[in-house]
Structure 1
Amino acid sequence: MGPTDQSEALHRRARAFIEASLLAGGAAPPGEGRAAAILPPHLPRAAQGERAALPEAFDELAVALARHQAAQCAPVARLFKARGADAAAMERADQIPAVPCDVFRFARVASHPPEADERVFRTSGTSLGAASRGEHPFRTTATYELAALSWGERLLWPDGARLRVIVLAPPLDEVPDSSLGFMIDRFAARLSGPASWHVRGGELDAGGFARACAEARAAGEPAIVLGTSFAFVHLLEAALPGGATLLPPASRVMQTGGYKGRSREVPADELRAAISRSLGVPPAHIVGEYGMTELSSQLYEGTLAAALGWPGSTAPGLYLAPPWTRVTAVDPETLAPLPAGEIGLARIVDLANVDSAVAIQTADRVRVTGEGVELLGRASGAPPRGCSIAIDQMLGGGGP
């Protein structure tokens, strides 16, 4: 079996795991918290007293992905060699060396050649300049789409509501390499109702946004507003025409990213309260999203699911990972896992990352418990020592 056939077989296994874990309704691997228990009533569930069987163990699939990546991706192979990690002998996901996010800026992290790319997602480059944008190549986006849509539905529209889509982000045709733009585009297609985008050419269209809200109110149809926290801050700083932007009942908001406005930083709780006041959406209906270009899966706050009465949800500020991912806090120096509740850097194993790196090491500070993942911001200054060493190892000893 050639590399492409191997990749396709692994994608099928990953998608089978995702689908089965959703049907399991709580049959997530041990230590994954409560997220898998949130199964909306309009989605199929295993019969009473039963649990849908997972096709294989989380660790088994994670190790299979790691072996494929180490065999087909030179930077991953160098990291394994430098760490003395024998892919053939691995049995657990926590044995897989994690690839730091910064590596995606300096090396191609892919198990397939560039000519096989279906799509390449790129980081924004806002902090280090466009020349330092990270790239995440995809041979196929089928597994990414399944993961994004499945968890988005679970945490953003678990009630199966028919929603209008109002977007505070550029449309995909303007940003074809944006993973957020791609995800929102797929959300709009899945929800299949009226959809509008209100950031074009780098400019916020506050008037168009207000009109879209008014149209939703006139139709009596709830809406989902999807956007970056940055765009929400600018919206709230704008003089909205007529000041009438209240959304219909049952509307909800997804926000993602940082909280900087034109001239100030806006604390997350302050922004949530301001969005609630301006749009007429209950605070619990405002859901934070955590994702990154280097991953294929996303985490969400469980606030909306909790408000709608589904079990297993969490308080604001705690994010739920899908059952096909594992988030662990690790020591910044050694990258060794820390006990539950201790603060460390987020290491994420994502089974939907089939053709790049199944284990990703971030510089985001987190506290992980059985209730969820608490985000505490990025580590300040230079890359943490553990990440810096790993970057050097992947680049063959000649770090950036």
Structure 2
Amino acid sequence: MIDSNPIFNIKTEQEFSAMALSVFKFQFENNKVYRSFCDLLYVHPSDVKTIQDIPFLPIQFFKTPEVISSNGPVQTTFTSSGTTGSITSKHMVTDLNIYKQSFNKGFQQFYGNIQDYVVLALLPSYLEREGSSLIYMVNALIKQSNYPESGFYLNNLSELKEALIKLDSEGKKTLLIGVSFALLDLVETYQFNLKNTIIMETGGMKGRRKELIRDELHTQLKQGFGVETIHSEYGMTELLSQAYSKGNGIFNCPNWMRVLTRDTEDALTIQPRGKTGGINVIDLANINSCSFIATQDLGRVHNNGSFEVIGRFDNSDIRGCNLMVL
């Protein structure tokens, strides 16, 4: 067992790399699914010297067997949204405190103390089903807010409009986090001119609307809410950490998370920064499942480690908190 506390105290690239290599060895030895995958590739910890050498488990594996590295009892299972009859991803979590630390410390790193915000959530498609890790996170953030106005909104858009205008006019720091289609529904019904409110989209049209490229989505939201930038959250069922964008679709990871890209023709080859490829995520908060995941998103990593999502592989389903397709 690896102590999770050092994961959230990582400060340098050297510390991150050392922890990632330790986690890889631990998961190779304790995760049957990941071990089988590594064996198929003939990769052993003795072969792995850098994080670029680590095999990344295709995200589809979360749809089949138990991807788990812990012998502890499963405290909860997060599930992805899916179309009727489709197989959903399952992330079995044996230590919810690690997830709580991850989303609390991640939010703190980019936005400061959650207690200082009024948190409003417009996540109807997630509220309508069970097992959403996003709902779990946002519900916890709402409970930590010092403001009684914080809460979820389902279909009561007129109440949300009144709350947004009132809170913004009072100068209260407000965070509205919403799924893309619902935010578009809101601004097509009401117009705003907000000065003290962060609008954060979690992506996903959930089959309710035509998918939009990011620039088109953000242009409509900026005009509708009267704000200069649209923030974004990048997360998914299979991760216990989130990356955040404060505008222009440029995401930054918390200290215990990294994004790399793989060659679209050779999935085992990690590309240099600046090249477009499949997004691979290292999420060290996934200590008890798998920390090395090859997603179905396409993106580009910049020289400073920030990244952007530019689309999805054609043969993948549109799901979860992913942003958009080209």
TM-score bin, normalised by smaller chain: 0.7 to 0.9
For structure 1, the 5+ residue unaligned runs are 1-5, 22-27, 31-56, 304-315, 384-400
Residue 324 of structure 2: aligned partner: none
Give a deviation string over 1:249-270, Cα, whole Å, max 9, x none.
3211111123578453444223
Contact 1:348–1:361 (CA<8 Å) still a contact in 2? yes
* Residue correspondence of structure 1 range 308-327 to structure 2 within 5 A: 316-327=248-259
Contact 2:109–2:254 (CA<8 Å) still a contact in 1? no
Structure 1 pair 260/134, CA: closer, same or farther in 2 (3 Å)?
Answer: closer
CA displacement at 1:220 relative to structure 2: 3.9
CA displacement at 1:182 relative to structure 2: 1.4
CA displacement at 1:154 relative to structure 2: 2.9
CA displacement at 1:140 relative to structure 2: 0.6
Q: With structure 1 as the length reference, what TM-score do the two structures score?
A: 0.71
1:122 to 2:92 alignment: no
Contact 1:338–1:344 (CA<8 Å) still a contact in 2? yes
* Residue correspondence of structure 1 range 1-400 to structure 2 within 5 A: 6=1, 9-14=2-7, 18-21=8-11, 28-29=12-13, 57-88=15-46, 90-112=48-70, 116-126=73-83, 129-155=84-110, 157-158=111-112, 162-170=116-124, 175-193=129-147, 194-199=149-154, 204-217=155-168, 219-237=170-188, 239-240=189-190, 245-247=192-194, 249-259=195-205, 262-280=208-226, 282-284=227-229, 286-303=230-247, 316-335=248-267, 336-371=269-304, 372-381=306-315
Tell me how far apart the structure 1 counterparts of residues 167 and 315 of structure 2 sit (CA, whole Å).
45
Aligned structure 1 segments of 4 or more residues deviating by more than 3 angstroms? 88-91, 158-161, 170-176, 217-220, 259-267
Contact 2:171–2:196 (CA<8 Å) still a contact in 1? no
Q: With structure 2 as the length reference, what TM-score do the two structures score?
A: 0.86
CA displacement at 1:186 relative to structure 2: 2.2
Contact 1:347–1:362 (CA<8 Å) still a contact in 2? yes
Give the share of equivalent positions with the same residue, in percent.
25
Residue 321 of structure 2: aligned partner: none
The one-letter amino acid paired with 2:231 is V
Mark the structure with the bigger radius of gyration: 1
- Size of the alignment, in residue pairs? 314
Structure 1 pair 111/20, CA: closer, same or farther in 2 (3 Å)?
Answer: closer
